[in-house]
Amino acid sequence: MISSLNSVNQAFVNSVDQISNQLNTDQIEMTSGLKMQQPSDAPDQVSELLQARAALATSQQISTNLSSVSTEVNTAEQSLESAVNLFTQVQTVAAEAATGTATASSRAQNAQELQSIEQQMVGLANTSIQGRYLFSGDSDQTQPYAYDSTQPDPVSAYQGSASTREIQNPNGTTFAVALTAQQIFDSTDPSTNIFTTINNLVTALQNNDQTSLQSQVDGLSGVASYLNQQLAFYGTTQDTISEATNYGQTQQTQLQSEISNLQDADETSTILDMTQAQTQLQAALQSKADIPQTTLFDILQS
One digit per residue, pLDDT tens: the chain, 302 residues? Answer: 455 555 555 555 555 556 555 555 545 555 545 555 555 555 656 788 889 889 999 999 999 999 999 999 999 999 999 999 999 999 999 999 999 899 999 999 999 999 999 999 999 999 999 899 999 999 999 999 999 999 989 999 999 999 999 999 999 999 999 999 999 999 999 999 999 999 999 999 999 999 999 999 999 999 999 999 999 999 999 999 999 999 999 999 999 988 888 876 555 554 555 566 556 556 555 565 555 555 555 555 55
| Cα dist from 135 to 72, 138, 142, 191, 272, whole Å | 10, 9, 10, 21, 63
Q: How far apart are CA 87 and CA 221, in angstroms?
A: 10
pTM for this one? 0.74
Assigned CATH class of 54-257: mainly alpha
Burial (0-12, 13-18, 19+ Cβ within 10 Å), 173: exposed
Residue type, 212: S
Structural contact between residues 36 and 29, judged by C-beta atoms closer than 8 angstroms: no
Sketch the domain layout of the chain as residue ranges: 54-257
| Distance between CA atoms of residues 57 and 67, nearest Å | 15
Single out the residue of 254, 280, 71 nearest to residue 178, CA to CA.
Answer: 71
Partner residues linked to 83 by β-bridges: none
- Say which amino acid occupies 210: Q
